[in-house]
Structure 1
Amino acid sequence: MSRLLHRGDAPPVPVRELTAVSADGSRIHVELHGPDDAPAVVLAHGWTCNTHFWAAQVRALAADHRVVVYDQRGHGRTPEPVNGVYSTKALADDLEAVLRATLAPGRKAVLAGHSMGGMTLMAAAGREAVREHGAAVLLCSTGSVRLTAESTVLPIRAGALRTRLTAAVLGARAPLGPVTAVSKSVLKYATMGRGSSPERVDICARIVHACPRGARVAWGRVLAGLDLQAGVRELRLPTAVIAGTEDRLTPPVHARAIEAALPHSLGLTELTGVGHMTPVEAPEAVTAGLRRLAERYVTVKGAAQAVSEEEVA
């Protein structure tokens, strides 16, 4: 992780670090930024990423928000799970542990997830800790089902062959190796929009290549068989959705389906020319979405408004 923190794009030093203990005993690395008495935001990163992926949002929000970021199991500074289990249930268990460890009873927060982080929120939608602590949700570049069938990373016609090959890629054990010009070109094609700057491609490449192979492979296999449609219907918090029009990993068809199924949708924003890595590719848009949700739903006025809207619904 240290090689990710020597550049100007690194997030601020957290005011506190702690370890949350999940239901199966797995230890989850958590970082807290910003003042404790400010509106809270909890950020869950995606597959092959880590807390550093949210650096732009942490830098922008930490002055006047309490920002909680954590490493998903097997990523960053969170070790592999004690029992070797990678599953959507484990994603939900880990998020519950983080919420319990970082938020006082009854304290509300905006919950945001990118890619697998969004899937975490869908998996945990019915959990007690999400009901207690969730004020609103932001889903970025994510999907709930048919990830391998809808992915367009492989430039071949949709069908059974592409689905099988995509699943094989997600679970491939081949090491990623060092970050090179070639590897950055491949990553940009697969995960980012054509207009992404070299600097932002480099940020994403260093993060992805730092992911341990075991976690990458194990989570890739989970994603290949994902089905969280029931979780979308259980996500009853006010929820906004963001997607990039050039996302090949989770194309906008996923975002549209999720938005249509949400019990309390705040709408879908499609970012033209942006790929899968929305928090890095379009940091201002993602940060603005988080700030709007916090202003509307985490303050006393926003909480009252949210209650009245739920009653009307």
Structure 2
Amino acid sequence: MGTEVARTNRKRKAGIVGAIVGLAAAGVAAGVATERYLVRRSKNADDPYADEEFGVWAADEELTVTTDDGIDLHVEIVDGPPGEDRPTLVFVHGFCLDMGTFHFQRKYFEGKYRMVIYDQPGHGKSGRLKKGEYTIDSLGAGLRAVLEATCTNEEAVVLVGHSMGGMTIMALAEQMPELFESRVAACVLISTSAGKLDTVTFGFPEVVARFRRPLLPLVGLAGPISSAVIDRGRRASADLAWLLTRRYGFGTTRPSPALVSYVERMNSTTSTEVIARYLRTLYTHSRLLVLGPLQSVPVLLVCGDKDFLTPLDHTYEITSVLPEAELVIVPDAGHVVLLEHADEVNDAMDTFLTKVLQ
């Protein structure tokens, strides 16, 4: 009797497990089907950038700049108008992106200014850190190395930073405040933050968002083997990645599908190992109280009103320390406002630079 009861219980448990597995499989299948349907529907929309050649530019010079910690940075230079005594625009991109973030700014300002654009460590065509974690401090030192290699000691520069690129500029200001009294003519900070990124809810209710915090140390322990597995998973779920990019990078209801795909490609080429080794420095970044050097130069702050990654409140915090900064809030714009609403951002930058560089 006991054996028969045990056998019955095992069958019942097996049936329950089978049902759960079956439901899970059905749920995954339905989720994938829904995901692919949504992507197809989105990509079939009219697209103003369907023929845009994203990531295709001409550079007058390409060079490699090696940082103090041995990382080779890929740098591109676009010459300015001949005979013009204008500052060089130096573009610093954000996390999980690359120099392609400034696609439209590069096109707009070509022929108007000399430009320096580079890939941050672990991103784009630049090298990776051999061991240890990336830090915002080291990114600031990397920016300094790029300036030393591409601009003369007398040449004025305008620093343009998006997201983590803005944090890089803040780190440089903390390390070398004298630059902002002599060589830095102005700063443009787009969709960035001076700290408290560990409080960002990504648009979720706080009761949901708070569960991501205990998981961060686990993500930070990702090694090369587990990262490779995760990266394969990311590629296998490309449609889901596309939808998440649209959700968290953009603010308009129906952004350009080609533009979403372009941003998703930049995201997907950043390995999970690199992402994990950046997380600690991003979540502990705190430079609101050391922004003093930026008070000595004109500053333009740009942010979308639907930015879930570096919300508008973070830009307002910066204005509390830099009350003279010019603030431009772009409606219906997400974290990649400089791509999503390029015309508005370019116009704001052009007007600002024309005014402050007279």
TM-score (norm 1): 0.84
Which residue of structure 1 aligns with residue 252 of structure 2? 194
Which residue of structure 1 aligns with residue 184 of structure 2? 134
Residues 44-63 of structure 1 aligned to structure 2 (within 5 Å): 44-63=92-111
After superposition, the C-alpha distances for 1:263-295 in whole angstroms (9 at most, x for unaligned) are x63321111110011111111122223323432
Q: CA RMSD in A?
A: 2.5
1: CA distance between counterparts of 2:201 and 2:327? Answer: 21
Residues 88-99 of structure 1 aligned to structure 2 (within 5 Å): 88-99=136-147
* Partner SS, residue 325 of structure 2: strand
Displacement of 1:178 in angstroms is 5.3
2: CA distance between counterparts of 1:83 and 1:164? Answer: 24
Residues 163-178 of structure 1 aligned to structure 2 (within 5 Å): 164=213, 167=216, 171=220, 174-175=230-231, 176-177=234-235
Shifted more, 8-17 versus 18-27: the winner is 18-27
Structure 1 moving runs of 4+ over 6 Å = none
Change beyond 3 A, Cα 1:95–1:184: same
- Letter of the 1:93 counterpart: A
1: CA distance between counterparts of 2:211 and 2:280? Answer: 16
CA contact (8 A) 2:328 2:348 kept: no
Which residue of structure 1 aligns with residue 331 of structure 2? 272
TM-score (norm 2): 0.74
Which residue of structure 1 aligns with residue 116 of structure 2? 68
Which residue of structure 1 aligns with residue 42 of structure 2? none
Which residue of structure 2 aligns with residue 309 of structure 1? none
Displacement of 1:166 in angstroms is 7.7
Displacement of 1:170 in angstroms is 7.5
CA contact (8 A) 1:145 1:229 kept: yes
- Letter of the 1:18 counterpart: L
After superposition, the C-alpha distances for 1:41-99 in whole angstroms (9 at most, x for unaligned) are 11100000111111111111112211111100111111013554411110110010111
2: CA distance between counterparts of 1:265 and 1:170? Answer: 39
Which residue of structure 1 aligns with residue 19 of structure 2? none
Between Structure 1 and Structure 2, how many residues are aligned? 292
Change beyond 3 A, Cα 1:243–1:167: farther
CA contact (8 A) 1:17 1:31 kept: yes
The answer as to 2:158 corresponding to 1:103 is: no
2: CA distance between counterparts of 1:275 and 1:83? Answer: 33
Change beyond 3 A, Cα 1:226–1:243: same
* Partner SS, residue 282 of structure 2: helix
Displacement of 1:218 in angstroms is 1.2
* Partner SS, residue 193 of structure 2: coil
The answer as to 2:139 corresponding to 1:79 is: no
2: CA distance between counterparts of 1:130 and 1:77? Answer: 29
Shifted more, 162-171 versus 43-52: the winner is 162-171
- Letter of the 1:186 counterpart: L
Match of 2:300 among 240, 246, 250: 240
Which residue of structure 1 aligns with residue 314 of structure 2? 254
The answer as to 2:207 corresponding to 1:147 is: no
1: CA distance between counterparts of 2:166 and 2:288? Answer: 12
After superposition, the C-alpha distances for 1:216-241 in whole angstroms (9 at most, x for unaligned) are 22112221121112332332321110
Which residue of structure 2 aligns with residue 307 of structure 1? none
* Partner SS, residue 206 of structure 2: coil
Structure number with larger C-alpha Rg: 2
> Structure 1, unaligned stretches of length 5 or more?
1-5, 303-313
Which of the two has greater helix per residue?
2
> Structure 2, unaligned stretches of length 5 or more?
1-50
Change beyond 3 A, Cα 1:14–1:281: same
- Letter of the 2:55 counterpart: A
Change beyond 3 A, Cα 1:254–1:170: farther
1: CA distance between counterparts of 2:237 and 2:81? Answer: 37
2: CA distance between counterparts of 1:203 and 1:154? Answer: 23
CA contact (8 A) 2:161 2:190 kept: yes
Which residue of structure 2 aligns with residue 292 of structure 1? 351
2: CA distance between counterparts of 1:205 and 1:27? Answer: 24
Change beyond 3 A, Cα 1:169–1:180: farther
The answer as to 2:75 corresponding to 1:30 is: yes
Displacement of 1:197 in angstroms is 2.1
- Letter of the 2:316 counterpart: R
Which residue of structure 1 aligns with residue 168 of structure 2? 120
After superposition, the C-alpha distances for 1:111-150 in whole angstroms (9 at most, x for unaligned) are 110000010111111314454431100110011111121x
* Partner SS, residue 125 of structure 1: helix
